[in-house]
């Protein structure tokens, strides 16, 4: 088991190095001057800025400096917010995204497994049809529409009641998180529902289920011990990357609900060619994703002993 984990971690480090390098060169290949603003400046002012950010050095030198800094966990200073370290941006805003993300994942996982199990049990009957229709909606309606509609509904709810039932945005308490978390987790919930349904239907005709039936086990026990436990594996697989995706922030949800998460920095940095923030958030996100994939692999080993084959 230890060897298995060690190998995974090593591979993970190589992946992170690859992500860092690809982002670095990709970012520099994008046309556009990160130091350019609305208004043109003199060559001297630009040179002063370039010197400050080390952009006056050859690309290869910049790359080595940057790799060295990353190895020490230093992502440098933002280009657009010249007084803030990228490390500070991640440290201050990731917890917000993560907090919201945890709630979103809980909603998504519980909902997805529940609805998925329901659709499989009532296959081709009305609960299945209704839920699957909602699932298609959940997957295909973009989050900015869902976010805007839910916020608009909240405004009307508050006006109807004449008091603040739920805040329509901002950050500070669990009440601020409920609706954004639902919106953020919605597409994952829909996706998990579909996945849960298909994997449950897959196991329903397997030999071991038939054996269990012929043994005379009660239906509930077959469902819980034989069907669900096997069907849930694919769900766990996608849950890892989904956790990384959701907890690093939903740009749209953060903007609409005025939530100070990391997602907006991630997107805006790319639009503004803020090199250090692009690098910092991408590498952080990449590392987090890699970590989650490793975590899933390890958890897999506990849930399904067959996975630990390479020992």
Sites for other proteins among residues 74-133 (CB under 8 A): 80-84, 88-89, 92-93, 95-96, 99, 102-103, 106, 113-114, 117-118, 121
Contact 278, 23 (CB under 8 A): yes
- Which stretch in 8-16, 21-29, 153-161, 293-301 sits in contact with other proteins by CB under 8 A? 153-161
Closer to other proteins by CB, 17 or 122: give it: 122
Specify the 3-state DSSP secondary structure of 77: strand
Minimum distance, C-beta of residue 224 to other proteins, in the bound complex (Å): 3
Taking the CA atoms of the chain, what radius of gyration do you get in angstroms? 24
Which residue in the set 37, 54, 68, 142 belongs to the binding site for other proteins (CB under 8 A)? 37
Residue 143 engages other proteins in binding (rule: CB under 8 A): no
Minimum distance, C-beta of residue 11 to other proteins, in the bound complex (Å): 28
Closer to other proteins by CB, 10 or 110: give it: 110
Closer to other proteins by CB, 14 or 156: give it: 156
What's the length of the chain? Answer: 311
The residues, ordered by sequence, that sit 6+ positions from 99 with a Cβ below 8 Å of its Cβ are 177
The residues, ordered by sequence, that sit 6+ positions from 270 with a Cβ below 8 Å of its Cβ are 278
Residue 167 engages other proteins in binding (rule: CB under 8 A): yes
7, 22, 104, 179, 228 from 254: Cα distances, Å: 37, 27, 13, 12, 35
- Rule CB under 8 A: which of 281-310 touch other proteins? none
Residue 30 engages other proteins in binding (rule: CB under 8 A): yes
Closer to other proteins by CB, 228 or 293: give it: 228
What does the block give as tokens for 293?
A: 């994939």
Residue 162 engages other proteins in binding (rule: CB under 8 A): no
Which residue in the set 90, 182, 239, 264 belongs to the binding site for other proteins (CB under 8 A)? 264
Contact map string, positions 184 to 213, toward other proteins, x by CB under 8 A: ------------------------------
- Which stretch in 48-56, 62-70, 280-288, 293-301 sits in contact with other proteins by CB under 8 A? 48-56
**Within the chain, where are the H helices?**
2-29, 43-53, 59-71, 86-121, 126-140, 143-161, 174-204, 207-214, 219-221, 229-247, 251-256, 263-271, 275-303
The closest of 20, 46, 57 to 278, measured between CA atoms, is 20
Closer to other proteins by CB, 138 or 167: give it: 167
Q: Output the CA torsion sign for 235, 280, 267, 17.
A: negative
Minimum distance, C-beta of residue 245 to other proteins, in the bound complex (Å): 19
Which residue in the set 45, 67, 71, 161 belongs to the binding site for other proteins (CB under 8 A)? 45
Residue 237 engages other proteins in binding (rule: CB under 8 A): no
Phi, psi of 85 (to 5 degrees): -80, 145
Contact 213, 227 (CB under 8 A): no
- Which stretch in 20-28, 55-63, 134-142, 163-171 sits in contact with other proteins by CB under 8 A? 163-171
Which residue in the set 8, 169, 300, 307 belongs to the binding site for other proteins (CB under 8 A)? 169
Cα–Cα distance measured from residue 140 to residue 183, given in angstroms and rounded to the nearest whole number: 13
Contact 84, 77 (CB under 8 A): yes
Which residue in the set 201, 255, 298, 299 belongs to the binding site for other proteins (CB under 8 A)? 255
Residue 52 engages other proteins in binding (rule: CB under 8 A): yes
Residue 265 engages other proteins in binding (rule: CB under 8 A): yes
Cα–Cα distance measured from residue 11 to residue 278, given in angstroms and rounded to the nearest whole number: 23
């Amino acid at each position: 088991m230890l060897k298995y984990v060690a190998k995974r971690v090593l591979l993970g480090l190589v992946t992170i190095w690859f992500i860092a390098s690809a982002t670095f060169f990709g970012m520099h290949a994008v046309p556009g001057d990160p130091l350019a603003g609305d208004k043109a400046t003199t060559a001297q002012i630009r040179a002063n800025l370039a010197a400050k950010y080390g952009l006056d050095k050859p690309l290869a030198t910049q790359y080595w400096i940057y790799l060295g800094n990353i190895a020490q966990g230093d992502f440098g200073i933002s280009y657009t917010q010249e007084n803030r370290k990228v490390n500070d941006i991640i440290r201050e805003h990731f917890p917000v995204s993560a907090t919201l993300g945890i709630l979103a994942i809980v909603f998504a996982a519980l909902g997805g497994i529940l609805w998925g199990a329901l659709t499989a049990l009532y296959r081709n009957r009305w609960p299945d049809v209704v839920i699957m229709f909602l699932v298609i909606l959940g997957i295909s309606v973009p989050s900015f529409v869902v976010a805007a509609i839910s916020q608009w509904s909240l405004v009307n709810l508050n006006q109807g009641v004449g008091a603040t039932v739920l805040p329509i945005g901002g950050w500070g308490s669990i009440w601020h998180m409920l609706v954004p978390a639902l919106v953020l987790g919605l597409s994952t919930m829909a996706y998990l529902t579909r996945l849960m349904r298909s994997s449950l239907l897959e196991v329903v005709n397997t030999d071991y289920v038939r054996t269990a039936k012929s043994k005379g086990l009660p239906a509930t026990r077959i469902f819980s011990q034989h069907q669900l436990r096997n069907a849930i594996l694919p769900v766990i697989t996608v849950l890892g990357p989904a956790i990384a995706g959701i907890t690093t922030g939903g740009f749209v949800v953060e903007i609409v609900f005025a939530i100070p998460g990391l997602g907006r920095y991630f997107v805006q940095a790319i639009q503004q060619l803020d090199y250090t923030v692009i690098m910092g958030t991408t590498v952080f996100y990449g590392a987090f994703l890699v970590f989650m994939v490793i975590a899933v692999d390890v958890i897999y080993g506990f849930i399904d002993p067959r996975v630990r084959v390479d020992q």
